[in-house]
Amino acid sequence: MGSAGDSIIISRVINKVKQVLSGQPAKIKLTPVIIPRAEHGISRQDISDNALKVLYRLHNAGFQAHLVGGCVRDLLLGLHPKDFDVATDAEPEQVKALFRNCRLIGRRFRLAHVVFGREIIEVATFRGHHQSQSEAVDDKLSKHSDEGLILRDNVFGSIEEDAQRRDFTFNAMYYNIADFSVTDFAGGMQALKTRKIHLIGDPETRYREDPVRMLRAVRFAAKLDMQIANEAGDIIPQLAPLLANIPPARLFEEVLKLFLSGKGLATYRLLQQYGLFGQLFPQLQPMLKVPGSKECQFVEQVLVNTDERINAELRVTPAFIYAALLWYPVEQRCQQLQADGGLSNQDAFNMAMNDVLNRQLQRIMIPKRFTLPMRDIWALQHRLSRRFGKRAYVLLEHPKFRAAYDFLLLRASIEGGELEVLASWWTDFQDADAERRKSMLERLQDSDRSKRSNRRRRRPRTTKKPQS
């Protein structure tokens, strides 16, 4: 039998789940503060021209039009927003009627995307509160799972309700194109000043509504160099398993945001701190329990290199990152298959790649356009050691040679030994002219012959007969 304290905790959890399942969010009292143009630092010169076009057209058509969320937060922090999101009282079909370059997307959240070449301005209708399950509810508009996860959210409401539905306090600030003021509904300005991340409403209820909010809290903490407030962070390890309820396709996009922000290493360390990384990569997590292990060093070095490339505005492919995060699970699985089934190294390695990928896809749906290059990078790790004859020249022409070579350099920097020698050889071979390449291959061939000859010359050890 559990203790009285355990009973209280269980009762509290049950009550919160019932509250979420009823569709009734906790009563959140917000006190909006209007900050006039003269008292904030947002300038239209820092706003995308296309976002301004959308705002003005909605406004001129008689609708409310506000910038909202991350773009307002970043502008107030003096950063350059990557995207500009618009909130309005116009419903998606009304937005589509105003813009010929608009398409409606999403089932869970019905959104309007106004497309300007490569730039997309996302327009969302103000969200309203869900009805309780005892009331007549159209499943096409509002639906919850048994765990409290919002499955469908097309209930529209007022700007005040929309602010209550936002996740973090600094994301509930609205820039009004009508008078250029900012309305701060939940103390977002104060959160920016104190560098604290607070949820709007009860953290447990909000995380159950959408467990991805736990990942977003970590991402914002790393990106903005802020701290997750205790009431928002302490409960995350307990609720981390709820990420298993998130569709794998959605988690793929969220993981890209986590590791391709230029703050990948800081994000990874926070994911570990809050018990979230193992929910995303369950095959890798058991290998990271020993600090300073080659697996830990490898993952951190991958993220250091990725951050450096992103911050230098160089290209980064998700295939390389996923290949690195799953490399040691593939190696471990290969060894298990060889030990258990007596398979050859090549057959075991091919089966290991399939097994690890299939298990990972159950948690994160990595598209085929990335899993194919991942397989190439992995397979080339074995082929790079076979350099005799024309093989070295063939490998140089392989489309994924450069990625596989970079991967080899990364492994060599952590593991050293023969890998370091192999990586150094490929570094020299790439830069060498035709004559020197030929000479390098000849020396390699001679060295191999010498090793085989020495093995043949060795005589088996004879044991002395015991004296009678």
Please give the pLDDT value at position 231. Answer: 96
User: Is CATH 3.40.50.800 correct for 31-194?
Assistant: no
Pairing type for strands 111-116 and 102-105 reads: antiparallel
- Taking only the tens place, the pLDDT of each residue in 106-134 is 876 789 999 999 999 999 999 987 554 44
Please give the pLDDT value at position 468. Answer: 46
Residue with tokens 């995380």: 207
User: What sign has the CA pseudo-torsion 278, 237, 221, 106?
Assistant: positive
Please give the pLDDT value at position 106. Answer: 84
Please give the pLDDT value at position 452. Answer: 66
pLDDT score of 234 more than 60: yes
Taking Cα atoms as reference points, which of 176, 202, 180, 198 lies closest to residue 189? 198
Give bridge partners of residue 65 from the DSSP assignment. Answer: 88
pLDDT score of 3 more than 50: no
Token pair in block for residue 70: 């991350």
Please give the pLDDT value at position 129. Answer: 76
CA dist 18 and 146 (Å) reads 10
Please give the pLDDT value at position 133. Answer: 43
- Taking only the tens place, the pLDDT of each residue in 411-425 is 999 999 999 999 999
Contact 200, 235 (CB under 8 A): no
Confidence of residue 1 (pLDDT cuts 50, 70, 90): very low
Please give the pLDDT value at position 451. Answer: 66
Write out the DSSP string of 196-208: EE-BSS-HHHHHH
More confident residue, 457 or 387: 387
Angle at 18 between CA 17 and CA 21, to 5 degrees: 85
Helix axes 418-431, 434-457, angle to 10 degrees: 150
Write out the DSSP string of 317-347: -HHHHHHHHHHHHHHHHHHHHHHHH---HHH
Taking Cα atoms as reference points, which of 74, 118, 124 lies closest to residue 95? 124
pLDDT score of 152 more than 60: no
pLDDT score of 16 more than 80: no
Confidence of residue 202 (pLDDT cuts 50, 70, 90): very high
Taking Cα atoms as reference points, which of 88, 114, 111 lies closest to residue 100? 114
Backbone angles phi, psi at 197, to 5 degrees: -100, 115
Q: Residue 328: how many CA atoms within 13 Å on its side-chain side?
A: 19
- Taking only the tens place, the pLDDT of each residue in 350-385 is 999 999 999 999 999 999 999 999 999 999 999 999
Q: Could you state, in order of their start, the residue ranges of all structural domains in the chain?
A: 31-194
CA dist 266 and 292 (Å) reads 17
Average model confidence (pLDDT) across the chain: 88
CA dist 405 and 146 (Å) reads 48
Q: Which residues are catalytic?
A: 83, 85, 167
What's the pTM? 0.83
Token pair in block for residue 386: 């076979």
